[in-house]
Amino acid sequence: MTIESTILSYPNRGKWGKSSYRGNCSGHIIKDLLEHYKPQKFLEVFSGSGTGKEVALDLGITNSVHLDLNNGFNILSDDIPTGFDFAFSHPPYWDIIHYETQRGQAHEGDLSNPMDYEEFIKKLDLCNSKIYSSMANNGRYAFLIGDVRKKGKYYSIIKDMAWIGDLEVHVIKEQHNTVSGRKSYYSNSFIPIAHEHLLIFKKNQIWQVPIKFTHTRVFDLRAFENNTWRDLIQGALEYLGGQADLTSIYNLIKDSKKTKKNQNWKEKVRQTLQINTNFSPVERGIWKLDIA
């Protein structure tokens, strides 16, 4: 199979590496990448059970380096070899799989150790920046990682990590034989994660590098200038339990951008309540929210 589009699917992992090593990616994706880009010097980080090394040997690529805690390399503290024109990494997906159980011992450089998500992202950014910095100019870095759901919260690692270099392509890879895919769930609202992301960055300049950061902030929707009166009132009624008197509604939205720009905002609130089908009167001065 060759890389013909931005959607990839490998139903089997291939003959390379150890199938018993949890979290192994399919050797087919490494094979297709190497055949597509034809690197002169290949670097693999987080090489795990040796899948990438076996693929490289099969393809006759002798100038390759494969680094992992399993062979004594700590990417957080050790120097990465320089001058390679293609790199591939498949890091842990946070602490979803604890690799110390497969390696036999814990290590401070293990990205799968129990840690806060923010600490994991910080360490992952360090790894990616070191790989990019060590790469030869015009080289490429292929980075494979999935999304995570933990305690009901969804984490998109590629959106929270720093993007270092020029993104050349974003490929979606279908996951097969996942633990979540084999489970039965009581709630039909739960959608199992069945994809991974393959990002390929190119180093187009030696010194200048584009970097994208994602910052998540808590923002009060009442501060948005483009809110409609209906939006403000609906939010207020939802916050107040679906039913409230006018005074309570006024108090919740009185400091919003919209009210500060309108001297007759209370009159506008009453008008919106009367003409909008989202709201209906309970008794004089009390309104409820109707959501079909």
Evaluate whether 36 touches 44 at the Cβ level (below 8 Å): no
Assess whether 86 and 187 both reside in one domain: yes
Q: What's the pLDDT at 67?
A: 96
Predicted local confidence at residue 180, as pLDDT = 53
Same domain flag for 165 and 194: yes
Q: Same structural domain for residues 134 and 238?
A: no
* Residue 2 one-letter amino acid: T
pLDDT at residue 178, rounded to an integer = 60
Identify whether residues 152 and 177 lie together within a single domain: yes
Q: Are residues 233 and 262 in the same domain?
A: yes
> For residue 188, what pLDDT is reported?
62
Three-state SS annotation for 122-173: HHHHHHHHHHHHHCCCCCEEEEEEECEEECCEEECHHHHCCEECEEEEEEEE
Structure tokens at 287: 């309104």
CB 273 within 8 A of CB 287: yes
Range of the domain at 250: 221-289
CATH number for the domain spanning 119: value is 3.40.50
Taking only the tens of pLDDT, the chain with its 292 residues reads 568 899 999 888 889 988 777 777 899 999 999 999 999 999 999 998 899 999 999 999 999 999 999 899 999 999 999 999 999 999 999 988 877 656 566 788 889 999 999 999 999 999 999 999 999 999 999 999 999 999 889 999 999 999 999 999 999 999 887 655 555 555 566 788 999 999 999 999 999 999 999 888 888 888 888 889 999 999 999 999 999 999 999 999 999 999 999 999 999 999 999 999 999 999 999 999 997 5
Q: Is residue 74 part of a domain?
A: yes
Residue 1 forms part of a structural domain: no
Domain total of the chain:
2
